[in-house]
Amino acid sequence: MVSIFLSYPARGDSVVAGMLDDALTARFGDDGVARSLPSANDSHAELRHRLAASAALIVVIEPRARATVDASLDTYSGLVSWQVRTATTLEVPVIPVLVTGPELLFETDVPEALRPLSHQRSRRIRLGRVREDIRRLIDDLGARFDPETGAAEARIPLILSEEPVHVAMPRRTHGPSVATVYRTRDGELVEAPYGDLPNWSPEIDARYAVRYEVDTRQHSIGVNLRLPSNDARFTFEASIVVGFQVTDPTEAVRHPVRFAVPLLRDFLQDFCEAITRRFSAQDGFEAILSVGQRLERATLPAGIALDYLRVRLTADGHTDEYVRALEEVRLEPLGHEKTTSGSISFGNLPNRSSPGSRPPPDRMLVARAPTQVPTGQDLSVDVRLVTEGRSVHPDAVTAWLPNLHVADAGTPVTVTVHGPAGLHAEGPLQQTLLVTPGEDPAPIRFGFGARTPGLHRIDVTAWAGGTFLAEVSVEVSVADSGPFRDGRPQTALLGAPRARPGEVTMEVRFDGSRYTFQLRSDTALFAPVVESFTNTPNAAVENAIRELQQLAGGGSRYSATMTREVIRSAGIQLWSEMVPADVRDQFWQVGAGMSAFTIATDHDVVPWELLYPLSAQRDAGFLVEQVPVVRRTYGQHRAAKVGLRNPRFVVPRKAPTGAHEEIATIRAILDAADSEPITSADELHALITSGRLGATHFACHNTFSSDGSYIDMDDGRFTPSLLTEARVRKLLTETSPLVFINACRSAGVAPTYTRMLGWAQQFMSSGAGAFVGTLWAVRSDSSARFATAFYRSLAEGATLGAAALAARTDQQDDPLDPTRLAYTVYGDPFATAAV
């Protein structure tokens, strides 16, 4: 039996130490945790005996232990010093656990008697992320000292105690990760606020009959299941690991099952059987995708919600032999590779506590168009919204995204198509469908006339109010004397669960001569606005950026008042000259309730982040300082979680001044392990193509010209084109990392072939969860300050859009510096960090 010795902080009433105690007890059992409380009268002989029997000594150091020294702190420091010396003599490992905020713990913050601990390898529990850090610590302890302790979770109780309410009823006995539920004498279940009710009184006795203590800690179990295929002769073997916790304590009491593991095993068996029996033996990979996606959204019984999920599905020996034999005798080649095994992981799932509901079916956006038509021929793009499991052309390509929530009365979905100038629209380019439960709406048609030879791309997007759902693209080749060839459909799963209140999206498309703007929100549906410009905005944009760079570098001769006015005027000019008057009017209609603003465009030469909305009656400043503003590029998946795990730093030898100080600060915020910065293009490219890229921060120079961008690494140039394989294979989708290039003009683009190629487009199309870059050269000190504020906000739980807003407003005290306006952020404004 493994025993962990836990030394409590001064006064012994630490909430964090109590949560750690709960987690240790759940993993190693009550007999597996020895405790040393400052208030206890334990003799040194007793403590030495417990230490000798322990696998490790954990010393918890709270912020209060770094405050003004008082009598209890002196006693505590002396006791811990003795424990550390004794553990060292007994060769028992000592693990300091520092309870901190995002800041570093310095030796001077620790009482003198405890300073020897600051030189040891410590673990941190951050006040904003206590649960996650405790879970990581417990997992590490289990792997280090008792790899077999996974079996200790086999009897995870949901109800820790049940006791009639009576006069001598004591206060609850368990730690802070326990909810208290009372059953009234009328049979109603009531969760006690603040953990418990006051001590017994006649009024309490008159109303309440029974008190329950419900375990709300995070747990993890693994189960092995045998699951059927659609042929009774063949089965799959599944290994499923789930992290879970009770989020509705009253529902846990109402449910008759007292232990979590049998309940979850039975639930998973029934739930997964209903899915896998729809798949043939050779469709194992499709089966695992369906199991993982549906489990991710499942509502579990007894008030339990999933925190994370990993599914591995394999074929049993008999099934595997059958599949191999089947493939050997198949006469026609498969359209794509089939497999009977695989695994899929889902992290940081949202807690769901609404009981009794089943996951709704997924809805598919399907678009179909001919692949080739002769010049002058009319063509149709047929669009359908199809429920998963219903008939779809076998060549359909599916992108897995969350399901569309369909209300009982139906949910309106707006479908818009965008075609290039070479295809003449023969009718409306936007139609709205009502999606109702259990039924698919009728197909809709968009007509075009093929006027100009060439390869033309038609983009089809679906929206719920101002919230983007899904996008597919079809390509049509127009030839002077070519044949008419039918095409295969393109399919995508509809993305967001519902329209987010206040989310506004401005789509901007450019076909070489015309801009098309369309403003979308949950309160109004506006038609597209087409604006033709005599000259492209490139020259004006370059002039504006050149002036802003000069201001950022401090090379302007303007006074402070004029400097502020130059920056402001640039934003007002962009608003008044680039945004059509109709779109400006629409903006004022929806602006009052705006919660986030997304700019959707492939053509990001224009620095839209500089917009300064102004009218005769309204002046609220730059848009990016009013609400969260982000961008999305077409082809970008919408990630609800942005990966901050396994952060790496790219710092070539020719790095800007202060680059190493910048990454040291960010490393501390992310609690990143020490590692050498990446300096070579070869190492960076290998990490990207491995598919294991975590959060990546570049502190470097980025060279930009009309030919494109590049970062000068120690062994050569790293360019956006080196991400082409990652983009085609979507290699970053699994980790969904944050990529932050803190360099001059890292978000600029250059034309290449038929698309705009830049860092943001390449990383986001490769599956990155978010990208942050700059639109012009920025000050080194200001850029480091922006990055620090951004990472701190995101790591502490802010959404991506809110973190960008916080970083911009953090620099408002220097109105002469336009650096805060130089940053562009790509991603979902409501995404949060996965750590």
Q: What share of the chain is helix, strand, coil (3-state, %, to 5)?
A: 30, 30, 40
pLDDT at 257 over 70: no
How far apart are alpha carbons 508 and 503 in whole angstroms?
Answer: 16
Mean pLDDT of 243-256: 83
Report the 10 Å Cβ neighbour count for 193.
8
- Cβ-in-10-Å burial (0-12, 13-18, 19+) of 254 comes to middle
Question: Cβ distance 656 to 699 under 8 Å?
Answer: yes
Mean pLDDT of 472-500: 69
- What does the pLDDT look like over 354-366, one tens digit per residue? 333 344 566 788 8
How far apart are alpha carbons 420 and 477 in whole angstroms?
Answer: 12
Extract the tokens encoding 756. 């705009």
- Non-local (6+) Cβ contacts of 17 within 8 A are 6, 8, 9, 60, 62
Residue 488 binned pLDDT confidence (cut-offs 50, 70, 90): low
Question: Cβ distance 517 to 579 under 8 Å?
Answer: yes
Give strand ranges (E) for 192-252: 208-215, 219-228, 235-246
Same fold, 4-149 and 633-834: yes
- What does the pLDDT look like over 680-726, one tens digit per residue? 999 999 999 988 899 999 988 887 766 678 888 998 899 988 998 88
Going across the sheet that includes 703-705, the strands are 703-705, 708-713, 716-718
**Among 104, 14, 114, residue whose Cα is nearest residue 69:** 114
Mean pLDDT of 40-48: 74
Torsion angle of the four alpha carbons 111, 112, 118, 124, in this order, in degrees rounded to the nearest 10: -10
- What does the pLDDT look like over 725-782, one tens digit per residue? 888 888 898 889 999 998 865 655 554 433 445 888 889 989 999 999 888 777 778 8
CATH assignment of 4-149, given 3.60.20.10, 3.90.1150.10, 3.40.50.80, 3.40.50.360?
3.40.50.360
If DSSP codes are grouped into helix, strand and coil, which group holds residue 74? helix
Helix and strand element counts for the chain (H, E): 19, 40
Question: Cβ distance 483 to 374 under 8 Å?
Answer: yes
Extract the tokens encoding 619. 């002046």
**pLDDT the model gives residue 349:** 47
Residue 116 binned pLDDT confidence (cut-offs 50, 70, 90): low
**Among 755, 750, 768, residue whose Cα is nearest residue 698:** 768
364-495 sits in which CATH class?
A: mainly beta
pLDDT at 471 over 70: yes
Report the 10 Å Cβ neighbour count for 678.
21
In DSSP terms, 239 is beta-bridged to 224, 312
- What does the pLDDT look like over 503-557, one tens digit per residue? 899 988 877 677 888 888 877 778 788 877 655 666 666 677 777 767 766 666 6
**Among 828, 791, 835, residue whose Cα is nearest residue 639:** 828
Extract the tokens encoding 510. 């450019």
Under CATH, what is the fold of the domain 633-834? Answer: Rossmann fold (3.40.50)
- Non-local (6+) Cβ contacts of 616 within 8 A are none
Q: What are phi and psi of 580, to 5 degrees?
A: -60, 155
Residue 397 binned pLDDT confidence (cut-offs 50, 70, 90): very low
How far apart are alpha carbons 235 and 281 in whole angstroms?
Answer: 7
- Non-local (6+) Cβ contacts of 373 within 8 A are 379, 450, 476, 477, 478, 482, 484
Stronger pLDDT, 797 or 401, i.e. the higher one: 797
Provide the phi-psi class of 256: left if phi over 0, else alpha when psi is between -120 and 50, else beta: alpha
Count how many Cα atoms sit within 13 Å of the Cα of residue 327 in the half-sphere of its side chain: 15
**pLDDT the model gives residue 791:** 94
- What does the pLDDT look like over 591-642, one tens digit per residue? 877 889 999 887 666 788 889 999 888 888 899 888 999 998 876 667 788 9
How far apart are alpha carbons 749 and 752 in whole angstroms?
Answer: 9
Question: Cβ distance 95 to 43 under 8 Å?
Answer: no
* CATH number for the domain running over 219-346: 3.30.479.30
* Sign of the torsion angle spanned by Cα atoms 664, 669, 675, 679: negative
SS3 annotation, 770-792:
EEEEECCCCCHHHHHHHHHHHHH
**pLDDT the model gives residue 268:** 85
Extract the tokens encoding 138. 């417990």
Q: What is the crossing angle of helices 260-276 and 284-297, to 10°?
A: 130
pLDDT at 198 over 70: no
Question: Cβ distance 306 to 295 under 8 Å?
Answer: yes
- What does the pLDDT look like over 69-97, one tens digit per residue? 444 445 556 778 888 888 887 878 888 88
The identity of residue 11, as a single letter, is R
Please state the domain extents for the chain.
4-149, 156-215, 219-346, 364-495, 531-631, 633-834
**pLDDT the model gives residue 273:** 85
Mean pLDDT value across the chain: 75
pTM above 0.85, yes or no: no
How far apart are alpha carbons 11 and 514 in whole angstroms?
Answer: 70
Report the 10 Å Cβ neighbour count for 58.
23
Helix or strand run (H / E) with residue 148: none
